[in-house]
Amino acid sequence: MESFLFALLLTSIAGISTTIGSLIAIIIKKPNEKYVSIIMGFSAGVMILISFVELLQKGIEASSFLMGHIYFFIGMFIMYIIDVSISHQYEFEEYQSLKNGKLQKVSLLVTIGIFIHNFPEGMATFIASLQNVNLGIILCFAIAIHNIPEGIAVAIPIYLLTEDKKKAFFWSFFSGVSEPIGAILSGLILFPFINDYILGVMLAVIGGFMVYISLDELLPASRESGHEHLSILGIIMGMIVMALSLSLL
């Protein structure tokens, strides 16, 4: 029960980091492009390295080389289905020119999209934390970093539409709540049956989640402002920090 609660705590921290993004959105409206390039690249670097070096390897150790990769690709396909079904975006500049009707629709779609998109991330942090506390802390950190721009994406259209800081903050918070919800549901369903094989399989699937999110979302977001060199620098920095962290565990 202690490990269950600590895993839930880490997931909650990662999820509600969207509220940091809402505060940035309210205070400065539009984040610094160079900051976004570096921080999104950094998060992608962390998540890509940990997925291939740690999460996929756990799946291979628990099953076999072939099955570990199959579970990994299953994770990628799950995220692909979510991605093509639900819209989520970071085009902050476009919000400024939208009329109220369109803005209301955009704010709803982005909030729902990020809420559903965060659900498997909650499962990822939770399962990783059960397997290894240090691994869970690192994954929590990586997800929290990239949840900040998600909080901005939710808060900006709502704030522009309502001019209500409390509403912008609330809906940004709501979009991140799906992560602890994902953790609780996966815990209630899987916790009684957890063993080394199930953990290995879930970590391989989660590795697929993380790589898909990095390639489809974080990398494009880090490069869309035209600061490609800062983006790749962030990726390298993220990988170095991740490698050093793993070497010290």
pLDDT digits (tens, 9 = 90+) for 35-58: 778 877 877 887 788 889 888 998
**pTM of the complete model:** 0.66
Lowest average pLDDT, out of 55-69, 80-94, 158-172, 216-230, goes to 80-94
129-173: pLDDT as tens digits: 877 888 788 878 877 876 777 777 677 767 767 778 888 888 888
Q: By three-state DSSP, how is residue 222 classified?
A: helix
pLDDT at 105 over 60: no
174-199: pLDDT as tens digits: 878 888 887 887 777 766 776 778 87
What separation in angstroms does the CA of 119 have from each of 12, 36, 160, 209, 232? 12, 23, 26, 11, 28
Between CA 129 and CA 55, with CA 61 as vertex, the angle to 5 degrees is: 40
pLDDT band for position 92 (50/70/90)? very low
pLDDT at 246 over 80: no
CA distance 170 to 167: 5
As a whole number, mean pLDDT of residues 214-232 equals 80
Between CA 169 and CA 102, with CA 118 as vertex, the angle to 5 degrees is: 55
The number of residues in the chain equals: 249
Q: Which amino acid, residue 133?
A: V
